[in-house]
């Protein structure tokens, strides 16, 4: 696996390359994955790396697969991406899902450093198996989150 800083650089580069798609695509999409390039699986890779580095509670046998991007918005020079993270447990192919939110300043904003916040999983509404999620796609909609994992960047990252 690549170092976390390199993954974050790749993520920012991918996001920056797709900003025009976000701004120009005014329709509401079910999933924004197709207009965001590799952003969905780069978010998963960055989150997995951050959890393994920063959280003793995260089981290192767990692996992140991908994410479903359900909301992408730009407001006040900030980009917010939220959706469903897809992950699994070592030794099995069964997958689970939990909500996430990622926020970062837009590139080129001299007043806001290129930092980010990553929020993942909800203490109050447990993760679901992917099979159950397919039957309950709206499980987390409309609820307030009690985020289980809250990770804020501690240094400025730029695209590679």
* Residue ranges per structural domain of the chain: 4-152
Judged by DSSP in three states, 34 sits in: helix
Judged by average pLDDT, the poorest of 22-36, 42-56, 76-90 is 22-36
Indicate whether 53 pLDDT > 70: yes
- Looking at residue 139, its pLDDT comes to 85
- Looking at residue 115, its pLDDT comes to 87
pLDDT in tens, 104-119: 988 775 555 578 999 9
Which pTM value belongs to this model? 0.89
Task: Give 4's contacts (C-beta < 8 A, 6+ positions apart).
Answer: 46, 49, 50, 53
Beta bridge partners of 85: 67, 98
| DSSP H helices in the chain | 4-17, 19-24, 39-54, 130-135
Task: Give 85's contacts (C-beta < 8 A, 6+ positions apart).
Answer: 43, 44, 47, 64, 67, 97, 98, 99, 100, 120, 121
- Looking at residue 157, its pLDDT comes to 47
Judged by DSSP in three states, 17 sits in: helix
């Amino acid at each position: 696996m690549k170092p976390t800083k390199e993954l974050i650089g790749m993520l920012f580069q991918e996001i920056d390359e797709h900003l025009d798609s976000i701004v120009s695509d005014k329709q509401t999409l079910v999933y924004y994955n197709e207009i965001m390039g590799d952003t969905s699986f780069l978010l998963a890779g960055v989150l997995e790396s951050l959890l393994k580095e920063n959280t003793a509670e995260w089981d290192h046998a767990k692996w992140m697969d991908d994410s479903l991007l359900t909301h992408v918005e730009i407001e006040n020079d900030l980009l917010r991406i939220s959706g469903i993270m897809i992950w699994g447990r070592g030794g099995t192919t069964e997958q689970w899902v939990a909500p996430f939110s990622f926020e970062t300043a837009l590139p080129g904003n001299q007043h806001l450093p290129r930092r980010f916040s990553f929020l993942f999983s909800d203490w109050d509404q447990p993760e679901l198996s992917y099979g159950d999620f397919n039957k309950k796609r709206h499980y987390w909609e409309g609820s307030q989150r009690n985020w289980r994992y809250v990770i804020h960047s501690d240094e400025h990252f730029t695209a590679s």
